[in-house]
Structure 1
Amino acid sequence: MVGDREWSPLELTPNAIGVSPGPEGLVEYLAATDLREQLVKAKAIVFRDFRLSPRDLESKLDLFLPNRLAYVHGNSPRTKVGKNVYTSTEYPAEFTISMHNELSYSHHWPTRLLFFCEQAPAIGGATPVVDSTRWLAALDDDVRDAFRGGVRYTQNLHGGAGLGKSWQDTFETGKPDEVEEFLAQADASWVWKPDGGLRVSQLRPSTRKHPVTGDEVWFNQADQWHAAGLGDETAAALRAILPEEDLPQSVTFADGSPIPEEYVVQIRDRGLSNAVDVYWQAGDVLLVDNLLVGHGRRPFSGNRRVLVAMSD
């Protein structure tokens, strides 16, 4: 198991890069930097002490993410607050969100993520980030081998009332033909249910290779889609309400065989144990390469508002 902390995000401040403090100094730096190349080398970058306000961020976002993407087919609860800008995951503050690469279950995922801290929490609330190559290396050989064939994700999306997300919110449309077009392009299978809901099935690989570095990375959300990843009490409560095939989301190996619970717990725990926490200050920006770095969230108290945007 990998247990040291050899990697951490690159932290850039006005003093470190020799520019004036404030948004103008950040613009100066970004205009003169190949940010894409720098991000691949660093894997994640924290921009701190540039005194960015939410208004500053909106006007500067294109410098970080020139082609922002909508959060279509996302399974996490979020609120859209601007042009393809969203709140970060709106799970209750007392829960840890385990490590994951954004939309790794989808046919089209963002290559870069940007997080902006509008309001830092009073206590806790760090965003842990993990080198995805280290996450893969931290897993036992039998776990890695078991996942070689990939995984199959299943979603049950209600039509307006029910457990989990609706298909309208998930695909940001109320038109079934637009949903079907998206799913066809995604090489997914689907069926409309008599109650107006939608069941979607997708076969995806468990690892990917980075197009620039060639590194193989752990790149799936099996632990988050599996009931065991929620903890024993929550998993038992869900199974008491619904059979597994009717849960809002579930996952199996590619051939449909069940993934052992102990594999799921190992994946979750070793991702978190190899993560580095980024503690927020208001105005911070965290930029990550979504293939090379997984992210999550630590529990917190007090108000916390972190926004997220994505780019290909």
Structure 2
Amino acid sequence: MTAIDVAARLSRLNAVRKSVAVTDLILRSELQGGQTRLRLFEPAHAAVDLIGWLQQNRPEVEAALLQYGGVVFRGFGGDGNGLFQGLVKATIPDIQPYMEGATPRTQLGEGVYTSTEFPHDQTIAQHNELSYVMRWPMKICFACRTAPAQGGETPLTDVRRVLANLDPAIVQQFSERGWMLIRNYGNGLGPSWRKAFNTDDLDEVRRYCAQSDIALEIFDEEHIRTRQVRPAIRQHPVSAEHVWFNHIAFWHPSSLPEPVRQGLLAQFAHDALPYATCWGDGQQIDDGIIAHINAAYRQATLVTPWQQGDMVLLDNMLIAHGRNPFQGPRAIVVAMGQPYVPAQAAHPTWDRTK
């Protein structure tokens, strides 16, 4: 055996030892609440290089994402941009811009945004990010820069369990009829169309809507209305599982606090609300059905407090997220990507001419 052969064998042996050592330095456990479980990764000591471990053990993380829908990295000291951006780069190919956005966020650069900037006393209901677009992110990642003193959790819900919790008769109706999202821009109660579509050119909005199976009405330079019909149930492209993937309850008027709902309905017709959902044929969905859907979410939801430096990677088709009210400073950042376009992008019964 030559000196070169010996050196090569020693190099391979050292690589194996390094891999085993790094793997053994990661502690694995579960977080569980309701019907949702997440994989929890923690370092055995403070010197663990998370990004190096990810580069060698990405198949394990991907398998955990498919099984659990989400993984939590806790205790790695990631309270700034560097570690979070490293995590995003290692786990999310093709960072995705926030197209058709519906909530206020601040872009921090390199595909990183603040979480939704709603007032601290408001709840954000469970939802899968951008379920209503034709090209949604398969992965979404959060990081906690500042943990709130009280509340402010990001509840997480396995939407496989939500689908299983629903009345089969209701599921069948949505399978046949789909759901419609109606948005009105320019009333001062949501983002402008310029913000939502990332353009100042209405012709670009026309082209985008035509390509995305969205019916567009233009009233003037500021006021437009969009309607889009989507399936309520999707099939995961890797696991082939069926999931409850939509914003049906999220934007239904009955999900609003009653004083807010009554105030909006006193001012706007149903199809003139900033956001509204209905059956795919345009008929209004009964409030009782929405209450049933919201109960199915609650039954499946995990709520756990943020800890400083926590980073959470989710399969966006398997896990829905939201936000609880909070007190004190709270800073959560987010990135999303790995865009996916399904074969069945729009609901098959959708007729934009009606």
TM-score (norm 1): 0.92
1:296 matches 2:322: yes
Deviations 1:147-170 (A, max 9, x none): 122101111111xx6221100110
Question: Could you tell me which residue of structure 2 aligns to residue 31 of structure 1?
Answer: 55
- The equivalent position to 1:167 in structure 2, one of 167, 187, 193, is 193
Q: Letter of the aligned partner of 1:118 in structure 2?
A: R
Q: Distance in 1 between matches of 2:38 and 2:180?
A: 32
1:233 matches 2:259: yes
Q: Distance in 2 between matches of 1:32 and 1:65?
A: 15
Question: Could you tell me which residue of structure 2 aligns to residue 157 of structure 1?
Answer: 185
Q: Letter of the aligned partner of 2:130 in structure 1?
A: L
Q: Distance in 2 between matches of 1:6 and 1:102?
A: 20
- The equivalent position to 2:153 in structure 1, one of 122, 126, 138, is 126
SS in 2 for 1:111: strand
Contact 1:98–1:272 (CA under 8 A) maintained in structure 2: no
Q: Letter of the aligned partner of 2:166 in structure 1?
A: L
TM-score (norm 2): 0.81
Contact 2:35–2:299 (CA under 8 A) maintained in structure 1: no
Shift of 1:59: 4.4
SS in 2 for 1:105: coil
SS in 1 for 2:200: coil
Contact 1:128–1:272 (CA under 8 A) maintained in structure 2: no
SS in 2 for 1:106: coil
Question: Could you tell me which residue of structure 1 aligns to residue 299 of structure 2?
Answer: 273
Deviations 1:154-207 (A, max 9, x none): 11111xx62211001101111222222222221111021125222111010001
Contact 1:99–1:272 (CA under 8 A) maintained in structure 2: no
Q: Distance in 1 between matches of 2:291 and 2:36?
A: 23
- The equivalent position to 1:8 in structure 2, one of 37, 60, 68, is 37
Q: Letter of the aligned partner of 1:84 in structure 2?
A: G
Q: What does 1:40-189 align with in structure 2 at a 5 Å threshold? A: 40-56=66-82, 57-148=84-175, 149-158=177-186, 162-189=188-215
- The equivalent position to 2:233 in structure 1, one of 202, 207, 225, is 207
Q: Structure 1 residues 6, 163: CA separation in 2 closer, same or farther (over 3 Å shift)?
A: closer
Contact 2:128–2:319 (CA under 8 A) maintained in structure 1: yes
In structure 2, the gaps of 5 or more residues are: 1-32, 339-354
- The equivalent position to 2:46 in structure 1, one of 21, 26, 31, is 21
Shift of 1:119: 0.5
Deviations 1:251-303 (A, max 9, x none): 11011111001111221232123201132112110000011111111121111
Question: Could you tell me which residue of structure 2 aligns to residue 223 of structure 1?
Answer: 249
Q: Distance in 2 between matches of 1:106 and 1:32?
A: 34
Q: Distance in 2 between matches of 1:291 and 1:140?
A: 21
Shift of 1:48: 0.5
Moved more, 204-213 or 4-13: 4-13
Shift of 1:6: 4.8
Shift of 1:92: 1.9
Shift of 1:113: 0.4
Q: Structure 1 residues 143, 49: CA separation in 2 closer, same or farther (over 3 Å shift)?
A: same
SS in 2 for 1:94: coil
In structure 1, the gaps of 5 or more residues are: none
Question: Could you tell me which residue of structure 1 aligns to residue 11 of structure 2?
Answer: none
Q: How many residues are matched?
A: 302
Moved more, 251-260 or 175-184: 175-184
SS in 1 for 2:142: strand
Q: RMSD across aligned C-alpha pairs, in angstroms?
A: 1.7
Q: Letter of the aligned partner of 1:257 in structure 2?
A: Q
Contact 1:156–1:246 (CA under 8 A) maintained in structure 2: yes
- The equivalent position to 1:287 in structure 2, one of 310, 313, 324, is 313
Contact 2:64–2:70 (CA under 8 A) maintained in structure 1: no
